[in-house]
Amino acid sequence: MTTLVTDTGFQTEDWANGFFRLEELPANTPPALAVDLDSDAEPEALKPHLSHIDMIRVDFPSFADGRGFTIARRLRMMGFHGRLRARGHVIADQYAMARRAGFDEVEISEDLAARQPEDQWQFRADWRAHDYQSRLRT
């Protein structure tokens, strides 16, 4: 079982339609399409499909692997407006960075949720207020 982290705290999974891997995208677009991307995937491969995708879930194999943040930014710059979810080894300290990169939510294991409870994630939920770039601009 997993836990979703959003700006409002811990949530339960609300996506019931399953996920397709990039290489398994169906020829006919289902009514709700979600795609799993590995951390070494090229987001440009999704460009012709972006308008039909409702959610993209990007894998983080390690909390030290930041490629998912780059993937999120590239997807947003390509015009993806659907739900963008980070999944795997993202820690509470990285939540603000995940949100700034373009993620809407983070999917963590129950084990990680027990080690880093909701209050640790909530402490970083005001991710716009702690952006050093915006503080420099004022």
What's the domain range around 95?
2-23+31-137
> For the chain, what is the domain count?
1
| pLDDT of 131 above 80 | no
Q: How far apart are CA 11 and CA 96, in angstroms?
A: 17
The CATH number that applies at residue 122 is: 3.20.20.70
Long-range Cβ contact pairs of 11-20 (< 8 A, separation 24 or more)? 11/105, 13/107, 15/55, 19/55, 19/57
Give yes or no for residue 120 having a pLDDT over 80.
yes
Query: Which pTM value belongs to this model?
Result: 0.89
Integer Cα distance of 123 and 103 in angstroms: 17
Predicted local confidence at residue 30, as pLDDT: 78
Q: What is the pLDDT of residue 23?
A: 86
